[in-house]
Structure 1
Amino acid sequence: MVEEQNEDTRALDLLNDDLTDVSPEEIRAAQAALAAQLETADDRWRRTAADYDNLRKRMAREIQTVREQERQHTATAFLPVVDALDRALTFGVDLDEGVLDGMQAVRAQAADALRALGYPEIVIDGAEFDPQLHEAVSVVEDASVPPRSILAVTRPGFGTPERMLRPAAVVVTRRPDEE
């Protein structure tokens, strides 16, 4: 390391000196030493720039992952509220119409909050059973409807096939001769 510094210093000294008494070999050696220093510095700069770019990209991915985890954590914590509102609406048929409407409005707000977090309520109307979106909790034999038809929803589901919070729990049909 000391020898490198001496050579580097010698190269710089040669450039600053009066070059009349310096041999061409010494000038070429000084130029070569400076070119090597420049190449080393350029290589270090490029590696540092690449490391910084990789760090920036990795941090952006990690931030996105943490955001998604927190979004899912918040939505998961909100699911019991939606379930409680659904149970209250099921058992609240004898309630005053205003109270029932208010509870339905609060339930709609809860579903909207989950949608805003990226977990829309899974639509069941006329849907056929899809294992990515639904969880079959019961199977009913019924020849009057096509097999794999959803008869009832026992628990609403939230999410998309790419980002599932909870599948919808459903009652599914099958033909009497299927197993």
Structure 2
Amino acid sequence: MSEHEAPTTAVPADEPGQDEALAHESPADETLERADERAAEPGDQDRRIADLEDAWRRTAAELDNVRKRGARDVVSAREQERAAVAGRWLPVLDNLERALAHASSDPDPVVEGVRAVLAQAVDVLADLGYPRRDDAGRAFDPAVHEAVGTVSGEGLVPGTVAQVVRPGYGSDDRILRPAAVVVATRES
């Protein structure tokens, strides 16, 4: 080999996938190619990181928007439900006004009218899921009753509700207001 000839690297013929162009590359070309690949990788990685950060920021912004939209929807639903409940009470108010308008006349029809309005109000609460409780004679339950006194006497079963002072509203699992009751005790 003369000093003007560049050394060539021969590629063994038994390696598959090698083409003619690669067969004449020098080791220096190979090293430069690897260095170029390594130099290109950080740029690709930086771009990939920037893309992932952008996607993450967009996702975080979308999550924030979903939270805000959910909060607005909850407020809106509450306002609509409050308006619906208030609307259910309007006929009760109308009937109370009618009863008061006739208060100066014969009191018997007025009293009957007020009883009818009371029944209407109880029905409205029952329709809303809070029926009036009939707890007289039931076993005292601190989850649904509020004891305001005790009484003992003949014929009263100890531990039961002897008298309802203020009625409760709701079912056993959904109490709007517990009943204020007097509880029967043993005679001493």
Give TM-score scaled by structure 1 length.
Answer: 0.54
Query: How far did 1:26 drift?
Result: 5.7
Q: Is the 8 A contact 2:168 2:178 kept in 1?
A: yes
Point out the structure with the larger helix share: 1
Q: Which has the higher contact order (CA 8 A, sep 6+)?
A: 1
Aligned: 1:45 with 2:43: no
Q: Distance in 1 between matches of 2:187 and 2:136?
A: 23
Secondary structure, aligned partner of 1:107? helix
Q: Is the 8 A contact 2:159 2:184 kept in 1?
A: yes
For residue 33 of structure 1, what is the aligned residue in structure 2? 46
For residue 143 of structure 2, what is the aligned residue in structure 1? 132
Q: Deviations over 1:99-150 (max 9, x none)?
A: 5543332111111222344432122253222222222233211242321222
Q: Is the 8 A contact 1:120 1:160 kept in 2?
A: yes
Q: Is the 8 A contact 1:136 1:170 kept in 2?
A: yes
For residue 132 of structure 2, what is the aligned residue in structure 1? 121
Aligned: 1:109 with 2:148: no
Q: Distance in 2 between matches of 1:62 and 1:130?
A: 35
Superposed, 1:64-143 pairs within 5 Å as: 96=108, 99-143=110-154
Q: Distance in 1 between matches of 2:54 and 2:75?
A: 31
Query: Can you give the 5+ residue segments of structure 2 that lack an aligned partner in the other structure?
Result: 1-35, 87-92, 97-106
Q: Is the 8 A contact 1:119 1:158 kept in 2?
A: yes
Query: How far did 1:51 drift?
Result: 2.9
2:164 pairs with one of 153, 161, 165: 153
Number of residue pairs matched by the alignment: 136
Q: Sequence identity of aligned pairs in percent?
A: 32
Q: Is the 8 A contact 1:153 1:171 kept in 2?
A: yes
Q: Deviations over 1:65-104 (max 9, x none)?
A: x56xx69xx7xxxxxx9xx9xxxxxxxxxx64x5554333
For residue 166 of structure 1, what is the aligned residue in structure 2? 177
